[in-house]
Structure 1
Amino acid sequence: MSQTNIGDDEVDIVIGALHADLTSFLNEWRPLFSRFHLIIVKDPDLKEELKIPEGFNLHVYTKSDIDRVVGLSSTAINFSGYSCRYFGYLVSRKKYIFSVDDDCIPAKDNKGLSVDAVDQHITNLATPATPFFFNTLYDPFCKGADFVRGYPFSLRSGVTCALSCGLWLNLADHDAPTQALKPGHRNSRYVDAVLTVPAGALMPVSGVNIAFNRELAGPALFPGLRLAAEGKLRWETVEDIWCGLCVKVICDHLGHGVKTGLPYVWRNDRGNAIESLKKEWEGVKLMEEVVPFFQSVRLSQAAVTTEDCMLEIVALVKERLAALDPVFARAAQAMADWIKLWKAVGSGSGSGSSPSNG
């Protein structure tokens, strides 16, 4: 790849297919995706056959594959809707994963040039993060940047970056109430910057456009918190926000970094925010409990792996949140089951489960 020594064979592109016809989506991404292996996970609720253009190196996983891998090991794990992508994280065997929603296409930068989202994400992950002291020129490892005067030399080597959170143009990532109040609002600002999110600071991670080090972040990227009326639109979900909070707390504890900013994608309009209000309102209320909880989480020194950290978070969710709402008890059980599944399936070094076609 252009800015790192990462090989194309170290990257999987994971796509959750919520819509049957992926022809236009994949053709838009063909110049960037054609070098990589793709994992496409079909939403188990999607009845139509997938339409996929020729010319890609890919594997498709369907409901039968999910049922075979998960089996009877858990009734709490649900891979429907946007959560289907997490099955791709489980069966991948690559060091890095890039995942983008199927309503996004490559963006253009301020010069009108097409953004190579994969390359920028891998650059973010392959260069150190600096969570313990903020650099006012943003990511000092980006081209044209460096550490500013006064930045401690003892911290300039940075730490491993576990998660890269990209942004997008056009449809902003509002919640349903905000989008309903501002139906015409679009994000048109392309900010040419990457920054490390400081240690101790939480953020609402979105699964729209992310990449991560699978070994470090993969076990924590699981949609434990699912709304009772969760739908098929970002306005109607909190699964990525929940697992993003898990990842950030764990990265802070283990000394890894999280970056946000470049790369951008272009996100197409989809759905009606007003119709989604009833479904997402539950999530809006839950966040008032969820965020203070994660702000208070302190993991023990005995937790030295991401899996260890997740199990300690599970115990804390049961202790502090489960009595507030049944959704938290379900989340804790699903997370515990996920870690068992990850250890059994996801931590292997061989090839993943055989797909239905590809």
Structure 2
Amino acid sequence: MRKPPTLVSLAIDTALLNLSHISDLSFLPEHILLDLFLRTLRAGKLTEKILKLFVATGKDEVLSLISELNIQPVLTPEYKSNFCLRLSASLNVGKMAQVNIRDDEVDIVIGALHSDLTSFMEEWRAVFSRFHLIIVKDPDLKEDLKIPGGFNLDIYKRSDIEHVVGSSSTVVFSGYSCRYFGYLMSCKKYIVSIDDDCIPAKDDMGELIDAVAQHITNLTTPATPFFFNTLYDPFRKGADFVRGYPFSLRSGVHCALSCGLWLNLADYDAPTQALKPGQRNSRFVDAVLSVPVRVMLPVSGINIGFDRELVGPALLPAFRLAKEGKFRWETVEDIWSGMCVKVICDHLGFGVKSGLPYVWRKERGDAVESLKKEWEGIKMMEEVVPFFQSMRLSQAAVTAEDCVIEMAAAVKERLGPLDPTFARAAETMVEWVRLWKVVTAQMSIAA
């Protein structure tokens, strides 16, 4: 015989039917509140208003459950009225379809550190000619840029940077940091950043790799950071979720950052390259994986793609050493930027992928000379990595800009006393957000 419902169960059912008319739930005991929340999920009735109602109770177990399930408001404009629930209903598990995007939704950003870009542009012509390009000339580069015709592009020089940023700004765009100015000036949803010493790579079948297409594929198919799939990206053709993968997590989350790799000159630091001057990366691995939540990684702007609307402000030029040079062995700025964006992706419920696409990286810079400039940064990483690993943002931080400001305050408080470099980084992070908001507002008015 079926057991009759209890009065508590009937009361919860009644509350579920009338949630849209309730203004306060904080008086409920926590176990009843948890039961009501789970029933709301199962019934598919969790809206932005109702989620705020549960959050407003301030009950620790409820807030922990919301955080654990990674329930976040979707921040992209086209989905503002909906909620992305990471807990999928058992009857609606299947894979999210890849989003088709237009070429005019993508900007290719190139930081130009040498003047003659002719061979670089010709190598990439078949790919780049479909898109709008933003080329940012290193402010310290004296010679005029040489660029072949046939491309849709905008070029930004020192005078443009000074006009936008001003002379009093703490944000510096010297060397490869000039690529960040391109991120700032873009008005497209997706950005792909490829350095001017890279050319298209070939896969293991000898076919040229369309790096832009692969980045877009990574960004427009879900990431799975909350449970590792041993067959890597389950959304790639010929792959799927392995046995034991929770069905409640198979819908995945939005991928906000795609980190590509490169052949030939691997992403070693100066000490490693100085000790192994002849070592090169010749192994093509046909794989993409989602970086697990709470796991840090050293992102490099050499070959990345990202959703500017979701995490654009989180990719920032903030952490600069006193004697930092221009070449990759001499900089730690993009490593800092990468850990900032990873923490923010984890907090906002977005994913990060690493692997394909590859590019071919040419020789540039002297590892031994760079070691003299990079050594201070290498030592600082021993403080930086634990800081980012332990960083937790508040529920009040609901945009990338909010997150950067909160993180800057933590940097100033926890790392600032250790070295003035950290204090300067915190100041620059705040300035970057201010600059981002000003430029974005100006573009909106102009549009």
For residue 257 of structure 1, what is the amino acid of its counterpart? G
Displaced runs of 4 or more, over 6 A: none
For residue 383 of structure 2, what is the amino acid of its counterpart? E
Q: Once the 2 structures are TM-superposed, how far is the Cα of residue 349 of structure 1 from its aligned partner?
A: 5.2
Q: Deviations over 1:209-260 (max 9, x none)?
A: 0000001121010111011111121000011100100000000001000000
Aligned equivalents of 1:276, 1:348: Cα separation in 2? 39
Q: Among 214, 225, 242, which residue is 2:308 paired with?
A: 214
Q: Among 218, 221, 224, which residue is 2:318 paired with?
A: 224
> What is the CA RMSD across the aligned residues, in angstroms?
1.3
Specify the SS of the correspondent of 2:149: coil
Specify the SS of the correspondent of 2:417: coil
Aligned equivalents of 1:260, 1:156: Cα separation in 2? 19
Aligned equivalents of 1:109, 1:94: Cα separation in 2? 29
Identical residues among aligned pairs (%): 75
For residue 24 of structure 1, what is the amino acid of its counterpart? S
Partner of 1:324: 418
Show structure 2 runs of 5+ residues with no match.
1-97
Q: Does structure 1 residue 130 correspond to structure 2 residue 224?
A: yes
Partner of 1:356: none
Structure with the larger RCO, 1 or 2 (CA within 8 Å, 6+ apart)? 1
Partner of 1:40: 135
Partner of 2:161: 66
Q: Once the 2 structures are TM-superposed, how far is the Cα of residue 207 of structure 1 from its aligned partner?
A: 1.0
Show structure 1 runs of 5+ residues with no match.
354-358
CA contact (8 A) 1:93 1:351 kept: no
Specify the SS of the correspondent of 1:282: helix
Q: Does structure 1 residue 179 correspond to structure 2 residue 279?
A: no
Is the radius of gyration larger for structure 1 or structure 2? 2
Q: Does structure 1 residue 83 correspond to structure 2 residue 174?
A: no
Aligned equivalents of 1:287, 1:117: Cα separation in 2? 30
CA contact (8 A) 2:111 2:176 kept: yes
Aligned equivalents of 2:230, 2:151: Cα separation in 1? 41
Q: Deviations over 1:37-73 (max 9, x none)?
A: 000000101111000011100000001111111124x
Q: Does structure 1 residue 249 correspond to structure 2 residue 343?
A: yes
For residue 172 of structure 2, what is the amino acid of its counterpart? N
Partner of 1:143: 237
Aligned equivalents of 1:352, 1:181: Cα separation in 2? 52
Specify the SS of the correspondent of 2:213: helix
Aligned equivalents of 1:201, 1:351: Cα separation in 2? 39
CA contact (8 A) 2:109 2:194 kept: yes
Q: Once the 2 structures are TM-superposed, how far is the Cα of residue 346 of structure 1 from its aligned partner?
A: 3.1
Q: Deviations over 1:154-193 (max 9, x none)?
A: 1111000000000000001111010000000000110000
CA contact (8 A) 1:92 1:346 kept: no
TM-score, normalised on structure 1?
Answer: 0.96
Q: Once the 2 structures are TM-superposed, how far is the Cα of residue 292 of structure 1 from its aligned partner?
A: 0.8
CA contact (8 A) 2:111 2:136 kept: yes
Q: Among 14, 27, 30, which residue is 2:125 paired with?
A: 30
Q: Deviations over 1:298-331 (max 9, x none)?
A: 1001111110000000000100111111111111
CA contact (8 A) 2:174 2:326 kept: no
CA contact (8 A) 1:235 1:276 kept: yes
Partner of 1:52: 147
TM-score, normalised on structure 2?
Answer: 0.77
Specify the SS of the correspondent of 2:231: coil
Aligned equivalents of 1:208, 1:84: Cα separation in 2? 12
Q: Does structure 1 residue 107 correspond to structure 2 residue 201?
A: yes
| Change beyond 3 A, Cα 1:133–1:233 | same
For residue 130 of structure 2, what is the amino acid of its counterpart? R
Aligned equivalents of 1:340, 1:350: Cα separation in 2? 16
Q: Deviations over 1:1-39 (max 9, x none)?
A: xx7511000000000001111001011000000000000
Q: Once the 2 structures are TM-superposed, how far is the Cα of residue 131 of structure 1 from its aligned partner?
A: 0.5
Higher helix share: 2
